[in-house]
Amino acid sequence: MEQEKQNHKTGWISVYRSIFNHWLAPNKRPFTDLEAWFYILLNVNHSDKKIRIGNELITCNRGESINSLDTWAKAFNWNKSKVRRFFILLENDSMIVTKNIKKSTHLIVCKYDSYQNYGNASETQVKRKRNASETHLTPNNNDNNNNNDNNEINIVFDVFWNLYDKKVGKEKSKKKWDKLTNDERTKIIEFIPRYKKSQPDVKFRKDPLTFFNNKSWNDEIIGEVENKKVYGINNY
């Protein structure tokens, strides 16, 4: 019985985007946080497209959306302030990245394919099983395994670029990003919100290339270290 319960916690289901038109949907009542997150996943782009805002064309890729906070507020049956706080919460947990553009918000869902692309997920599982078998047969082939990991990028460079938000040396930074392992990319995305909190002024933030060369995501954040000492977390 316990095993059956565990099985229900993993796996995939396919859900139509029109599910929020169902009579069971929230309709006029305010969304819960989970419903709002589910709505975001179902309403961001499933393919790349360009959107015109005034006289400017903006590329809105798969897993992204361009809407005003008022539009999201109307969809969630929330006020705009609550939407803004919710987006900050999601961004601090590396679930989304947002960027303000001309009275709109460019929203990017991090790791979108892990939520939606069943085909890729199945393919990845097959590759992992195959790689595991190959590793068992040739345990010294570590370099090849690392190359396989790098070829399957779990987080695209634009997620880092928009979240880090210091637009210097993009081309060289992207080359560095593409050479990182998936584990390193994940650590970086988790590290950035804490780093930005300790260094909110972008002009004092490290250039992206310096950040990569120094592997700064492995550094302790000075403000956090001081807090640990104040509250006696480090016992010497």
pLDDT averages per 10-residue partition of the chain, 236 residues: 55 76 85 94 89 86 92 94 95 92 89 66 46 45 45 78 90 92 90 88 92 92 56 44
Domain at 16-113, CATH from 1.10.10, 1.20.1740, 1.20.1270, 1.10.287 = 1.10.10
CA 76 to chain centre: 21
Q: According to the model, what pLDDT value does residue 81 have?
A: 95
- Phi and psi at 69, nearest 5°, equal -60, -30
3-state helix, strand, coil in the chain (%, to 5): 55, 10, 30
Q: Cβ neighbours of residue 136 under 8 Å, at least 6 residues apart?
A: none
> How far apart, in whole angstroms, are the C-alpha atoms of residue 177 and residue 192?
14
- 119 and 84 in contact (C-beta within 8 Å)? no
Give 5's contacts (C-beta < 8 A, 6+ positions apart): none
Its pTM surpasses 0.85:
no
Residues 152 and 182 sit within 8 Å (Cβ to Cβ): yes
- Cα–Cα distances in Å, from 68 out to 45, 72, 104, 164? 15, 7, 4, 22
Q: Where does 39-182 show beta strands of DSSP type E? A: 49-53, 56-60, 64-67, 96-101, 104-109
- What does the pLDDT read at residue 172? 94
Owner of token pair 């609550």: 82
Dist CA 216 CA 206 (whole Å)? 9
Residues contacting residue 124 through CB under 8 Å, at least 6 positions apart = 152
- Residue pair 114/39 in contact (Cβ under 8 Å)? The answer is no
Predicted local distance difference test score (pLDDT) of residue 25: 86
Angle at 115 between CA 48 and CA 155, to 5 degrees: 65
